[in-house]
A and B are shown apart, each in its own frame.
Chain A
């Protein structure tokens, strides 16, 4: 074992432990109420997780929330970035989820067409 090897292990494992750090840059919240799940929120959630894994994003966490009260727009997803307003997407699909990861999460460009609302953090 060399020091460099140790550090390699650490980097690998740290990705694994990122959930517990509480210091994620971006938090993606998938609405998983009854209507959300009926509209395909499970697939959306899986797509997010898969895409994040593929792109080795260590500072993004995916979590879930309950009913948002806007059944017609489900699945609904919120993207919360530190120091940015919250972006709420509606009518998500697995495909759109992958796009949000690439464009919004990685490149910082909101995927305009699917946005339901942009909410300032203070107003909540």
Chain B
């Protein structure tokens, strides 16, 4: 009886390591049990591609693809799907963008944009069945070549196809074949290079494991074309499955006469042997590979002579890579014109890439040359997971380079990637997110090549070790700026004077990171910081490193875990004097880097901070004592977070500090913009009052118009923190009807002026937090229907995901891909005209640029439009003091000292950075206070004592077990929209202590005898490589 279902079980390397063979065995058992063995055929296949989701099971004829199948799931699949025809939904793929399940393999986005030529059979046939290979058209091309074409004809086809070497160098394959064909030698050799050694590259393995005959057929055609009798596949010993499948494929091919004497009853005879390499990376270099094939030490030799004239045993030798051979039969069978129609002008056909790193869908993909990098990463790869930002992609492994975000629209080809300082290489693509340290990445690759150098030539052998020394020094914070020049000089020397390709390309990872991420090297050298919080010698813990104010999170959390809230508060005040505010509105950069996420979820650091701050407020704690007054005076303009922070730390250092505020209330945007349901004003006041008690004088209603007057008044220095309060506008009509306001004015009206006028229908334009704030505030003021119109995709909204989710709960509707073009209405606004947008090419931020779609314009009926599309600084005050102001009103300052071009005048916060976060402003204010102290003759030291690790008094091991993150109480959405009362509740004291104990103490790096004393996850956090 014919089968009714074909069930393909992926047995590629990745799926096998996630136990796909157990799934297969269970399938066999279950089919027997249900008497389905005759109707359902199980096929073990090679790699299907999306390795992340293995084990994969593909069921035909429906084409249903199941992911992450465990043996325990098999019974359900058999009884539900195979017997009753009900697809098991929980094992299906899910769309990344829309919340839907995808049943069929071909509609999964991962597969949609791919074009499988090389991988056509991988995951589709049983690699151990030559019959299935033949059924899929196999050996037809070999038959066609040897019976109907001349060798010259085959070579001509290869040339015309435009195929280039897929091993990395991209040399035209047909030309290479022609060289070998033209050699006058009775004996010639073809060699397949399967010594795949790049970290993160596994395409050759997948082909050998999933479709070995395609390589055999390609080699046989090549042998016919160049006139060779012997073939060798040089495959690394680390690929036992590939060796096994190749070996059985060779036997099967011999048995059917595709190898051996008189192939297809012609005069052509050819056979292939397998040679197993011992795993030296350098043996991927062709001359080293040949040396190793011959049984000698695997070291490269000088070319010429090239292998095509003198290779194995001095015979003319054709050497191509696995993927190159895998293309051959398709070109012969379907013609060079077909092949040449795929790809770009100079790079034809497809390329297989191994996607790995920080990307949702890791695995093997095959795309036409010319596919853009962005399509590869986002459309196929599914983008960067865990809400992180893309930083760069690394291609070509240790010989390749990095490509940063602004180049996402680059079509992939040999030429374009080379222009960017990267290479196509063998096809490894490592996606790097914001948590990657580029210096450490370069160090990793140099460490690899330094240890894989054959040791023959001096620049590579000794030079790479010296580069590694220097990179090590930099990642330890011991680098000097001169090191960069030396590093570059060494890199260029090695690149240009090494003997073989290994050395000539080994410096590329350093050169390309220096090209695009030099600032990161400089951060390590000048400021001894690792922005990605990877280089462990340079920070206390990842949370501390990622905090713009560098709050010693591990220390205060440790105090909290001991129940000592007062000590925790003291630690916090050393670097951040606004704990009540930050405990509520902080972006919590710390949590995004929290290593606890490797176990389940980050520690709820912000909520912990709030508990601590509320405790301090209720117990009227003052924080550390300021130094005695030193008699000098400093003026601060603006009472937002930057000004308050700078003022506080100046007071701590002994300065008499006066804050000038133009408005009748202190706090800047925290008072005028952030709604009270997020930040109650008594909390704001408590934090500010504490700063006043610490010795800062705040003068309200005191606008400053002339900095020189201040300096003449006896202030030794001035810190300008006037924020970015000017609302940006859109050209929506002229004159604008009533009912169109800016988000800034709307929120300020509510919180400062006490106005509360709102329409029944409100449309908010924008995607940032102030748009969300406006929308949620409008709901609270009684608006029936609030819509946010945003021109990009929802996933691209800059507002925090938490805020967006809460807004939706409160009934705010988000209309993304919608760009307002004008208002409708005369006296009063009646509607908002919007164009519907489509996702265009990627912009410099790595998001897709919205472009107008062909959908018709829509009109949103509304009685009020709130424009919250961004704010900017004016720079007026500083311009008046003769300081140059850049575009957007921003003032250029030194990032460490916050000093402007004029000595004695410092600036920070939104005024210099543009709209940013409270905690960034606090960090800037503190840095400025230190610099002002130095400027006025002090030593700029705020904390003279060394950091002390806080001992804890509970059983830490118990808390490294999985333990859910604590969630504070939240008011229900229905209640929330009835008032401006605070939405988020706080932990009970015991709950806070419990939550604090989830901290893994990444700050405890090593004990004296060099043993890491943290938990395993703590070690992971302390490790420099990810």
State the A residues within 8 Å of B (CB): 1-3, 6-7, 9-10, 12-14, 16-17, 19-20, 22, 24, 27, 29, 31-34, 37, 45-46, 49-50, 52-53, 61-67
Contact = CB atoms under 8 A, between A and B. Distances in A.
The 6 closest A-B pairs by CB, nearest first: A13-B135, A64-B85, A1-B257, A65-B85, A53-B2, A61-B61
A2 B142 CA distance: 11
B134 interface: yes
Contacts of A3: 143-144, 147, 264
Contacts of B4: 19, 45, 49, 61-64
Interface string B838-881: 00000000000000000000000000000000000000000000
Contacts of A17: 6, 125, 132, 135-136
Contact of A10 (B3, B82, B140, B257): B140
Interface in B109-150: 124-125, 131-132, 134-137, 139-140, 143-144, 147
B76 interface: no
Contacts of B256: 1
B9 to A, nearest CB: 13
Contacts, number: 99
29 contacts: A1-B256, A1-B257, A1-B264, A1-B265, A6-B140, A6-B143, A7-B140, A9-B131, A10-B134, A13-B132, A13-B134, A13-B135, A16-B131, A16-B135, A17-B135, A19-B6, A20-B60, A22-B63, A27-B61, A31-B85, A34-B84, A45-B39, A46-B1, A49-B1, A50-B1, A50-B2, A62-B4, A64-B82, A65-B86
A33 B60 contact: no
B569 interface: no
Nearest to B125: A17
A19 B3 contact: yes
Contacts of B143: 3, 6
B61 A22 contact: yes
B715 interface: no
A10 B6 contact: no
Q: Max chain B CB contacts within 10 Å: which of A9, A17, A34, A65?
A: A17
A64 B134 CA distance: 29
Interface string B138-166: 01100110010000000000000000000
Interface string B62-79: 110000000000000000
Contacts of A66: 84-86
B981 interface: no
B649 interface: no
Contacts of B8: 20
Judged by DSSP, the binding face of A is: helix
Contacts of A62: 4
B83 interface: yes
B147 A20 contact: no
B88 to A, nearest CB: 12
B5 interface: yes
B85 A63 contact: yes
Interface of B: 1-6, 8, 39, 60-63, 82-86, 106, 124-125, 131-132, 134-137, 139-140, 143-144, 147, 256-258, 263-265
Contacts of B257: 1
B340 to A, nearest CB: 26
Contacts of A13: 131-132, 134-135
Contacts of B6: 17, 19-20
A10 B141 CA distance: 13
Nearest to B133: A13
Given A32-B83, A49-B4, 15 more contacts: A2-B265, A10-B135, A17-B136, A19-B3, A19-B61, A20-B60, A22-B61, A24-B61, A32-B85, A45-B4, A46-B1, A52-B2, A53-B2, A64-B4, A64-B83
Contacts of B62: 63
B38 to A, nearest CB: 9
A16 B85 CA distance: 21
A29 B84 CA distance: 11
Contacts of B135: 9-10, 12-14, 16-17
B977 to A, nearest CB: 42
B60 to A, nearest CB: 4
Contacts of A34: 84
A101 to B, nearest CB: 12
A73 B773 CA distance: 59
A24 B140 CA distance: 24
A10 B137 contact: yes
Contact of B264 (A2, A24, A52, A53): A2
Given A63-B61, A66-B84, A9 B134 contact: yes
B973 to A, nearest CB: 38
Nearest to A58: B2
Contacts of A61: 4, 61
Nearest to B6: A19
Nearest to A48: B4
Contacts of B3: 16, 19, 49
Contacts of A2: 264-265
B563 to A, nearest CB: 58
